[in-house]
Amino acid sequence: MTDLIIETNQLCKSFKDKPALCSLDLQVPVGSIFGFLGRNGAGKTTTIKTLMGLLHADSGSASVFATPVADADRSVEIRRRIGFVTEDKELYPYMTVEQIIRFTRPFFPTWRDELAQRYMELFELPPKRKIPDLSKGMRSKLMLLLAISHQAELLVLDEPTDGLDPAATEDVLREMVAIAAASGTTIFFSSHQLVEVERIADHIGIIHRGKLVATGSLDDMKAQYQRLNVVLADSVSPPAHWPEGVESVRQEGRVLSILASHNVDAIVEQARAIPGSTVERFPVTLTEIFLEHTRSN
Amino acid sequence: MLCYKGWLETRFKLLFTLGFVCLNLSMMHSYSSNIKTSVLLFMVTLMSQMMVMLACGMLAGAGINTQPTFQAAKGLHGSTLFTLSLPVSRLRLLTVRACIGWLESVGFSAAFCCAMWFASPLLRAKVAPFDLFKYALTLIVCSSAIYLLSVLLATFLDEIWRIWGTMIAAVALGWLSVHTYLPASFDFVRAIGKNSPLYTHTMPWSAMAFSLALSAAFFYAALKIAQAREY
């Protein structure tokens, strides 16, 4: 059985009777780079805030490092082992870059000055500059520096590349992968950017309207999901019912486009049973999987 | 390091408050020729009350909220989220920040009393140094209730509203005190006014004890709010 670093069971959270999380069962394996995907308002930030102890769940449970996050005393110990990058990347406006580093360092016994120095140089952060004078990209990099310089076992990154230019995005993604590869740090990050998630994540969770609608290893997902193009013979109608595993069927002229999430062989067999039809199988992208699960209803 | 953060948050407010004091002291210096003792003591206590209330309002803070309420209501909590992601309990965040502001206001009260002593030859002539020392002590203890009320307000109001809230509460307490609606033994506003050691030459222990009890209650309420709040 895989060790889990984050686990939620039937986690629910509402804001003024509007459900934000509904029975969320999330499992993040140790050492993974877990991309947490969802549309705006799907519940990504609510999940992250609940894991960080910033929100209190209405029901269900959440644990990080096998420690319940609802326990205020023990959540301090959890936070000591986590590096967190917030969604809006705001830091104290009255501090400079070097002051915020000096401020953060003593909270973490595992802090390494040489790491902080390395990232200062790598990210080209000006030590004397006040935080409000930094661009959003620089603030993101500074938050990442603060999160990783204490050798966190788990990085929780809420939209780490949001608002960054392509060069800054590239820097951040490269470092995320390097950190995970070098130290085995687990990275749990939320994002809208499917291309970058597909590039670096090895595990995926898709949340829609507060529910986890798909999760698993990215490779397994891509292996399970396939698109089938079925070219029908003239005047042949497609079957009304398909085997289990068909997520969607679209028809354009004589071509049926089927997205299958599992049981692909049985679906192919049924498609081939249609007189005069030809069937082709294609791999799918993460974008297709995401869109399929997050279309309304 | 939380002390360092607290100092950075309050240093300009402390400077502003001290600047206000200098202005008042210069006025006091120019008015201190040939006035009656009763008028002098009234001026000293009134000015002390005003200055200490200003300091309480300016220097208090809860150490957690850094974002204006209207932004927080939209889910924009700014650097508050960074503070809360640190491996520190909300109790410690609140306590350290409250202590920093309190120590500054203590230093402020002591410095204000000393400065009055040096600025006014008339005060030196008419008030015994030990009475002024007792007054400074009373000022520190009795103003702590107002200070902790401001800390309590800081857990759910942003800066401007917290300062206004503190001022309004202080004025309301002053009004209650003037109209003797508060029992004399619990009236900590009167204890730094008409019932102060400058007039009575004795310490108003019961009022000081009541102020401390009220301070503890305000701090407890602030802590409960800080622990329960969601961000």
A72 in reach of chain B (CB within 8 A): yes
Residue ending a domain, choose from A200, A217, A234: A217
pLDDT band with cut points at 50, 70 and 90 for residue B66: low
Asked if residues A13 and A58 have their Cβ atoms less than 8 Å apart, the reply is yes
Asked if residues A186 and A155 have their Cβ atoms less than 8 Å apart, the reply is yes
The reply to whether A58 and A160 lie within a common domain is yes
pLDDT band with cut points at 50, 70 and 90 for residue B21: confident
Residue A281 has pLDDT above 60, yes or no: yes
Please state, in angstroms and as integers, the Cα–Cα distance from residue B112 to each residue in B8, B17, B97, B108, B136, following that order: 22, 11, 22, 6, 9
Residue B71 has pLDDT above 80, yes or no: no
The reply to whether A174 and A229 lie within a common domain is no
The reply to whether A116 and A209 lie within a common domain is yes
Residue B137 has pLDDT above 60, yes or no: yes
Q: Decide if B8 and A52 are in contact by the 8 Å CB cutoff.
A: no
Identify the pLDDT of residue B64: 76
Domain count for chain B, please give it: 1
Residue A83 has pLDDT above 90, yes or no: yes
Q: Which residue has the tokens 């005069």?
A: A276
Identify the pLDDT of residue A44: 93
Spell out which residues of chain B touch residue A136, defining contact as CB-CB under 8 Å. Answer: none
pLDDT band with cut points at 50, 70 and 90 for residue B77: low
The reply to whether A205 and A247 lie within a common domain is no
The reply to whether A152 and A265 lie within a common domain is no
pLDDT tens figures, B196-217 = 898 888 899 999 999 999 999 9
Residue B124: half-sphere exposure toward Cβ, Cα within 13 Å: 10
pTM of the model: 0.83
Asked if residues A33 and A201 have their Cβ atoms less than 8 Å apart, the reply is yes
Q: Mean of the per-residue pLDDT values for chain B?
A: 85
Least-confidence region, from A154-158, A249-253, B92-96? A249-253
Spell out which residues of chain A touch residue B67, defining contact as CB-CB under 8 Å. Answer: 90
The number of residues in chain B equals 231
Taking residues A243-247, report their average pLDDT. 86
The reply to whether A276 and A243 lie within a common domain is yes
Identify the pLDDT of residue A262: 84
Q: Decide if B90 and A55 are in contact by the 8 Å CB cutoff.
A: no
Domain count for chain A, please give it: 2
pLDDT band with cut points at 50, 70 and 90 for residue A296: low
Interface residue of A50, A103, A149 to substitute, partner B, most B CBs within 10 Å: A103
Q: What is the CATH number of the domain that holds A290?
A: 3.30.70
3-state secondary structure of A147: helix
ipTM (interface pTM): 0.84
What residues make up the domain containing A275?
A: 225-294
- Which has more pLDDT, B181 or B53? B53
Q: Where are the alpha helices (DSSP H) in chain B?
A: 2-31, 37-59, 69-73, 79-85, 90-119, 121-126, 129-154, 159-178, 197-200, 205-228
What residues make up the domain containing B61?
A: 2-228
Taking residues B45-56, report their average pLDDT. 87
Least-confidence region, from A56-70, A224-238, B10-24, B74-88? B74-88
The reply to whether A167 and A289 lie within a common domain is no
Q: What is the CATH number of the domain that holds A152?
A: 3.40.50.300
pLDDT band with cut points at 50, 70 and 90 for residue B76: low
Least-confidence region, from A50-59, A212-221, B59-68, B77-86? B59-68
Q: Decide if B82 and A86 are in contact by the 8 Å CB cutoff.
A: yes
The reply to whether A54 and A199 lie within a common domain is yes
Residue ending a domain, choose from A217, A251, A272: A217
Taking residues A19-47, report their average pLDDT. 92
Cβ-proximal residues to A152 (8 Å cutoff; 6+ apart), any chain = A81, A82, A83, A185
Residue ending a domain, choose from A167, A196, A217: A217
Q: Mean of the per-residue pLDDT values for chain A?
A: 89
pLDDT tens figures, A254-269 = 898 898 888 888 999 8
Rounded to a whole number of angstroms, the distance from the CA of B225 to the nearest CA of chain A is 13
Residue pairs between chains A and B whose CB atoms are closer than 8 Å: 68
Taking residues A224-241, report their average pLDDT. 85
Please, which residues bridge with residue A204 across strands? A35, A216
Q: Which residue of A has its CA nearest to B93?
A: A76
Alpha-carbon torsion angle A146, A135, A163, A206, nearest 10: 10
SS (H, E, C) B26-80: HHHHHHCCCCCHHHHHHHHHHHHHHHHHHHHHHHCCCCCCCCCHHHHHCCCCCHH
Residue A253's identity, in one-letter code, is G
